[in-house]
Amino acid sequence: MPHHTPYASSRLVAVLLALLCTVAVLTAVGSSPSAAAPSTGASARGFEPMRPGDKGWRVRVLQSRLHQLDLHSEVVTSRFDEETRAGVATFQRRRGWTADGVVDERTWLKVVSLTTEPTTEALHNVYTPGRPLLERGDAGMRVRQVQARLKQVRWYDGRVTGRYARSTVEAVKGFQAKRRIPVTGQVDRRTLTRLEDMTSAPTKAELFNIVPQGPALDPRCTTGRAMCVDKSSRSLRWVVDGVVLRTVEVRFGSDELPTREGAFSVFRKSRDHVSSLYDTPMPFAMFFSGGQAVHYSPDFAANVYNGASHGCVNVRDRAAVAWLFDQVRLGDKVIVYRS
């Protein structure tokens, strides 16, 4: 029968205790939450949705990722505002999901899968200048367009020249500084996009410094094609892209039958029209409001302002109204106003 010494028994107990401890540690590690792979935006109680009105770093990251998808501006704010909600809703709508603008777990995971981790610069609105598209020394129509647009937002007050000189550089710098774009005085893609978003396509008058003659044009006359009828100056000006191409004298209806004021469009043209109501000739009639039209008037030609129309806009110059009739298209604007 083997004889066990006290020393051997002690060693056996120590080995058994060590094995028990190892098993306990392994069991604890296997069941520990920290051993699980981290989830994107999830907590122990699940994903926390992001909603309009929320604030914080997660919103900032969301905005930066939405910008990568062209669904948010480059500037991030940490505030879940209307721009952010609209971007999220558009993202959801494109996938046929409920477009409520709330970032649930499915929306967040899809946004993350389509974007890259935002850089420190992007998250703190620190931008680097892009490749210059226009810079000092350049010349041409593209420079004119930039100058005219800068003039619309009152950063450039000189003449539109098409030459990228010092005054244009300073105007671009001011525009960039106001919008937290790297201040270089050069027009990069970021600067041009922001400028185009804030302005309208320049008219011919804006591009070539053409100042309308006579009383001020109604703002509605400065774009597109318009017969601009000014009751105060008793004139009709044919305006295309802000440039006055022809001016004629006109007269209007009486107090009993006034010419209507407002914004209209030409819906009918009749070269040899005769009024069915008054049985009077209305050559070169261009109708804009019910039975009211711009047309030649023999009575106006003969008696000038000693009389009135039945509400129409009478023209006394037959050759001028005949020319105008050939220029005007259906759908062209007719603006009747007082300057």
**Which positions ≥6 away from 39 have C-beta within 8 Å?**
47
Average pLDDT over residues 209-216: 78
**Which positions ≥6 away from 48 have C-beta within 8 Å?**
41
Mean pLDDT lowest among 28-37, 195-204, 209-218, 274-283: 28-37
| pLDDT for the residue 32 | 36
**Pick from 244, 252, 251, 310: which is nearest to 281 by CA?**
310
Q: Where are the alpha helices (DSSP H) in 32-165?
A: 57-68, 82-93, 105-113, 120-123, 141-152
CA distances from 179 to 89, 118, 136 (A): 26, 21, 21
pLDDT band at residue 338, thresholds of 50, 70 and 90?
A: very high
What distance in Å separates the CA atoms of residue 144 and residue 164, rounded to the nearest whole number?
Answer: 9
Q: Is the pTM of this model over 0.95?
A: no
| pLDDT for the residue 307 | 84
pLDDT band at residue 171, thresholds of 50, 70 and 90?
A: very high
| pLDDT for the residue 304 | 79
User: Are β-strands 225-230 and 281-289 bridged in parallel, bridged antiparallel, or unpaired?
Assistant: unpaired
Could you tell me if 302 and 233 are in contact, meaning their C-beta atoms sit under 8 angstroms apart?
no
**Which positions ≥6 away from 241 have C-beta within 8 Å?**
203, 204, 205, 223, 224, 225
| pLDDT for the residue 199 | 85
Mean of the per-residue pLDDT values of the chain: 86
Average pLDDT over residues 127-144: 94
| In the predicted structure, residue 33 carries a pLDDT above the cut 60 | no
Between 274 and 1, residue with greater pLDDT: 274
pLDDT band at residue 73, thresholds of 50, 70 and 90?
A: confident
What distance in Å separates the CA atoms of residue 284 and residue 312, rounded to the nearest whole number?
Answer: 12
Between 36 and 60, residue with greater pLDDT: 60
| In the predicted structure, residue 276 carries a pLDDT above the cut 90 | no
User: Are β-strands 333-337 and 225-230 bridged in parallel, bridged antiparallel, or unpaired?
Assistant: parallel
| pLDDT for the residue 14 | 54
| In the predicted structure, residue 269 carries a pLDDT above the cut 90 | yes
| pLDDT for the residue 125 | 86
**Pick from 256, 281, 258: which is nearest to 270 by CA?**
281
pLDDT band at residue 9, thresholds of 50, 70 and 90?
A: low
What share of the chain in percent tops pLDDT 70? 86
What share of the chain in percent tops pLDDT 90? 64
Average pLDDT over residues 171-197: 92
What values do phi and psi take at 228, rounded to 5? Answer: -100, 105
| pLDDT for the residue 175 | 94
pLDDT band at residue 10, thresholds of 50, 70 and 90?
A: low
Average pLDDT over residues 127-149: 95
Q: Which two tokens stand for residue 309?
A: 């129309």
Q: How many CA atoms, within 13 angstroms, populate the side-chain half-sphere of residue 279?
A: 0
Q: How many CA atoms, within 13 angstroms, populate the side-chain half-sphere of residue 131?
A: 1
| In the predicted structure, residue 1 carries a pLDDT above the cut 80 | no
What distance in Å separates the CA atoms of residue 230 and residue 334, rounded to the nearest whole number?
Answer: 11
| pLDDT for the residue 148 | 95
Q: Which two tokens stand for residue 170?
A: 């300073």
| pLDDT for the residue 25 | 39
Could you tell me if 315 and 256 are in contact, meaning their C-beta atoms sit under 8 angstroms apart?
no
**Which positions ≥6 away from 300 have C-beta within 8 Å?**
251, 307, 309, 314, 315, 316
**Pick from 219, 257, 254, 250: which is nearest to 232 by CA?**
250
What values do phi and psi take at 213, rounded to 5? Answer: -85, 150
Between 243 and 34, residue with greater pLDDT: 243
Could you tell me if 153 and 132 are in contact, meaning their C-beta atoms sit under 8 angstroms apart?
no
Average pLDDT over residues 15-27: 47
Could you tell me if 126 and 111 are in contact, meaning their C-beta atoms sit under 8 angstroms apart?
no
